């Protein structure tokens, strides 16, 4: 009833290619954006920003990057954590060398470093597929984390071996470092994520997106319609690693504040992969739903039982979290391989025809 | 959204400067072997502009291998292929596409997760030029290009009468429609030579009639040259202008359908005479 599409006629292809051909979708997004840009900043606490909102956005962005590679172009990667690390370390070096540079510019530039590394480790995809490619990207994962530890220049030869985010300002407001407020960091992250998402939607629905999907669905046929497989695969690695790199830079600069090489280990890769799988491979929306679930779950387990007066230890929260996420992943792979995004699509279809069954 | 019904004459045939009836492609002394297995031995034939050329032969005669050689999947050990006056060396399939060769497969090779519309749009990938920068912005040149190609694709969708499945993921379509979408994708490439590998395999009589009509229309309205492999002799004899017959990787006959039909070597090959 609320989602009625009857009467919304398209009279031109331009209208058919609108970002939201159905009006209700646009309203819904407007509502979400108002909540994100106005309601949260007015109501949320620092804890809410730091424990929930900022990490959800950053993880969603990383998953979006991975999703372009795995969900759209069909190339499995287990190196996401390391590529995030490349973005973070590149950003750190850029800020060290050019302290005057705007932090947003530094983050945008650092993406190119991870993109280049991503393409280099994507080269095996030209010869191997599936699990074998996953193993090749796994090599990237271990090699890069080792490099982050051993190459002192990357962390300015700090005795601790960690990178410490300096205070930087934008328009007179401190956005990174220890003195930055959670809300200003939230706004920076939210803006970057919104812009990248918009660009990613456009790329995935145009010619290049079709090229990637064609390679994913049947590479022989893709070659047959004139798609250059090498270009298609490497461009997917480039775009994907660029977004993952930006997510990595945001991860350290606007959330963690400091990082050691171990932060970018395989656990992080798996975490992002789980978000992409639970959210839905081959979907943009899914990354947000998946990130919300994965990030919110431990927060909910940590706070809700306490609200009802149930004592729950932090170790217990950890165990419960691991168990529930494990069960969810198995459940999703069996019941709905297309993830949460597919659930939303089904709900939307039902809403469109509601109250009729067909 | 539908294009006007009068638009049935799809895009004008691309003008490659070759007169109708002149040689479009020439296969000369081609041999192909895999290790010790000889798939094709010393085959020569030509395809003339504007004709429907059938390649027939019993199972394992080397027909599909022949198509694979033509569109660049295999590189023959011996022999040459001249297409539009240019002799070709080893090449990748996407190069063949750029030269104007499109193809459908014996067992449907569509992009299963994509809609009919996207599948056919993918056929126009080569003709779309806007860079990733424009595509990220979407509005402006990239959208204009998308719409320009969408119009061409909608003409093909109209022509093949698949408007109703425009948005359906092709994986969910029945086999007959999938074959039609695959033909649509090949047409979207506006080829000067269209290779069809058993376009009617596994179809019922009605679907075969539909497909035959589409093939004839493509050939007559667009002037597209077609080379097809088919096992249904009725279809082959009715559709094709000239037939080349292969058996055990060798050419055993070449000529108009009536002539081939009565050729003793062909009859032997199909009925099975000890070699």
The enclosing domain of A324 has a CATH number of 1.10.3470
Q: Is there a domain that residue B97 lies in?
A: yes
Question: Could you list the residue range(s) of the whole structural domain that residue B107 is in?
Answer: 5-12+22-271
Residues of chain A falling short of pLDDT 50: none
Q: Is residue B149 situated within a structural domain?
A: yes
Which pLDDT band, with edges at 50, 70 and 90, does B8 fall under? very low
- Complex confidence, ipTM: 0.83
Domain limits at A140? 45-353
Whether residue A353 lies within 8 A of chain B, CB to CB, comes out as: no
Where residue B7 falls among pLDDT bands split at 50, 70, 90?
Answer: very low
Which residues of chain B are within 8 Å of residue A211 when distances are taken between CB atoms? 122, 125
> CB–CB of B128 and A217 under 8 A?
no
Residue B232 lies in a domain: yes
Of the two residues A337 and B203, the one the predictor is more confident about is B203
Whether B103 and A224 lie within 8 Å, measured CB to CB: yes
In chain B, the percentage of residues whose pLDDT exceeds 70 is 93
Nearest to A226 among B125, B130, B143 (CB): B125
Query: B58 pLDDT exceeds 90?
Result: no
Query: d(Cα B260, Cα B263) in Å, to the nearest integer?
Result: 5
- Residue B17 in domain: no
State the pLDDT at residue A348.
83
Residue B42, domain member (yes or no): yes
**Cα gap A118→A79, rounded to integer Å:** 9
pLDDT at B3 over 70: no
| A13 lies in some domain | no
What pLDDT, on the 0 to 100 scale, is given for residue B134? 84
Is B136–A203 a contact, with Cβ atoms under 8 angstroms apart?
Answer: yes
Residue A8, chain B, CB below 8 Å: the answer is: no
Average pLDDT, chain B: 84
Burial class for A265, CB neighbours closer than 10 Å (0-12, 13-18, 19+)? middle
Distance CA B257, CA B10 (A): 29
Provide the pLDDT for residue B4.
43
Q: Is residue B201 part of a domain?
A: yes
CATH code at position B257 = 3.40.50.300
Number of domains in chain B: 1
Chain A residues near residue B169 by CB distance under 8 angstroms? none
Which residue in B has a C-alpha nearest to residue A9's C-alpha?
Answer: B1
The better pLDDT of the pair A306, B71 is held by: B71
Task: Assign B275 a pLDDT band (cuts: 50, 70, 90).
Answer: low
Residue B175: per-residue pLDDT: 87
Cross-chain CB nearest to B121 (options A11, A210, A229): A210
> Distances from the Cα of B15 to the Cαs of B10, B18, B20, B84, B153, in angstroms?
14, 8, 11, 11, 20
pLDDT in tens, A308-331: 877 778 888 888 888 888 888 788
Identify whether the C-beta of residue B125 lies closer than 8 Å to the C-beta of residue A210.
yes
In a domain, B140, yes or no: yes
Q: Does residue B61 carry a pLDDT above 80?
A: yes
Name the percent of chain B lying above pLDDT 90.
19
Flag whether residue B130 sits within 8 Å of chain A, measured between CB atoms: yes
| pTM of the predicted model as reported, rounded to 2 decimal places | 0.88
Give the pLDDT confidence of B165-190 residue by residue, as tens digits: 988 899 889 888 899 999 999 999 88
Q: What is the pLDDT of residues B108-157, one digit of tens each?
A: 889 988 999 999 999 888 888 888 888 888 888 888 888 889 999 999 99
Q: Cβ of A167: how many Cβ atoms within 10 Å? A: 11
Domain total of chain A? 1
* Contact flag A199-B136 (C-beta cutoff 8 Å): yes
Please say if the pLDDT value at position B50 is more than 80: yes
Residue A1 lies in a domain: no
Q: What is the mean pLDDT of residues B30-41?
A: 87
pLDDT given for residue A109 in this prediction: 94
């Amino acid at each position: 009833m609320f989602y009625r599409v009857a009467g919304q006629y398209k009279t031109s292809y331009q209208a058919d290619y609108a970002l939201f051909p159905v009006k209700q979708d646009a309203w819904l997004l407007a509502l979400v954006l108002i909540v994100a840009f106005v309601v949260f900043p007015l109501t949320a606490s620092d804890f809410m920003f730091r424990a929930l909102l900022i990490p959800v956005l950053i993880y969603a962005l990383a998953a979006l990057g991975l999703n372009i590679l795995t969900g759209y172009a069909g190339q499995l990667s287990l190196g996401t954590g390391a590529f995030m690390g490349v973005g973070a370390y590149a950003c750190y070096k850029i800020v060290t060398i050019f302290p005057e540079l705007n932090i947003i510019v530094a983050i945008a530039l650092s993406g190119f470093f991870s993109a280049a590394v991503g393409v280099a480790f994507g080269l095996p995809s030209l010869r191997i597929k599936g699990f074998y490619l996953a193993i090749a990207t796994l090599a990237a994962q271990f090699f890069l984390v080792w490099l982050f530890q051993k190459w002192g220049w990357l962390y300015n030869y700090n005795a601790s071996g960690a990178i410490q985010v300096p205070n930087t300002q934008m328009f007179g407001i401190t956005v990174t470092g220890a003195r930055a407020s959670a809300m200003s960091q939230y706004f920076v992250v939210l803006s970057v994520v919104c812009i990248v998402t918009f660009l990613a939607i456009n790329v995935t629905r145009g010619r290049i997106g079709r090229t990637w999907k064609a390679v994913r669905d049947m590479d022989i046929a893709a070659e047959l319609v004139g798609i250059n497989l090498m270009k298609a695969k490497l461009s997917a690695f480039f775009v994907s690693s660029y977004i993952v790199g930006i997510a990595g830079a945001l991860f350290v600069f606007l959330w963690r504040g400091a990082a050691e090489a171990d932060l970018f280990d395989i656990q992080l890769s798996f975490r992002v992969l789980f978000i992409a799988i639970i959210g839905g491979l081959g979907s943009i929306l899914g990354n947000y739903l998946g990130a919300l679930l994965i990030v919110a779950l431990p927060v909910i387990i940590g706070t809700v039982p306490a609200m009802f007066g149930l004592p729950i230890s932090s170790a217990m929260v950890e165990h419960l979290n691991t168990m529930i996420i494990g069960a969810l992943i198995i459940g999703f792979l069996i019941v709905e391989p297309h993830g949460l995004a597919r659930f939303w699509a089904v709900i939307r279809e039902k809403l469109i025809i509601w109250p009729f069954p067909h | 959204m539908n294009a006007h019904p009068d638009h049935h004459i799809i895009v004008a045939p691309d003008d490659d400067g070759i007169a109708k009836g002149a040689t479009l492609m020439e296969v000369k002394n081609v041999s192909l072997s895999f290790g010790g297995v000889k798939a094709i031995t010393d085959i020569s034939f030509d395809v003339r502009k504007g004709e429907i050329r059938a390649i027939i032969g019993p199972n394992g005669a080397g027909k599909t291998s022949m198509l694979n050689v033509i569109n660049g999947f295999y590189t023959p050990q011996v022999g040459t292929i001249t297409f539009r006056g240019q002799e070709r060396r080893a090449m990748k399939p996407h190069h063949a596409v750029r030269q104007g060769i499109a193809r459908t497969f014996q067992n449907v090779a569509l992009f299963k997760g994509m809609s009919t519309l996207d599948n056919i749009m993918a056929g126009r990938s080569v003709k779309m030029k806007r860079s990733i920068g424009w595509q990220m912005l979407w509005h402006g040149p990239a959208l204009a290009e998308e719409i320009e190609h969408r119009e061409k694709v909608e003409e093909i969708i109209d022509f093949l009468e698949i408007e109703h499945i425009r948005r359906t993921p092709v994986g969910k379509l029945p086999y007959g429609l999938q074959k039609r979408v695959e033909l649509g994708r090949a047409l979207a490439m506006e080829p000067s030579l269209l290779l069809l590998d058993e376009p009617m395999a596994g179809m019922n009589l009605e679907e075969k009639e539909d497909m035959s009509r589409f093939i004839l229309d493509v050939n007559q309205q667009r002037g597209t040259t077609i080379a097809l492999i088919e096992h249904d002799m009725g279809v082959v004899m009715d559709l094709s202008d000239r037939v080349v017959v292969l058996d055990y990787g060798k050419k055993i006959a070449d000529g108009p359908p009536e002539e081939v039909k009565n050729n003793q070597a062909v009859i032997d090959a199909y009925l099975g005479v000890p070699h």
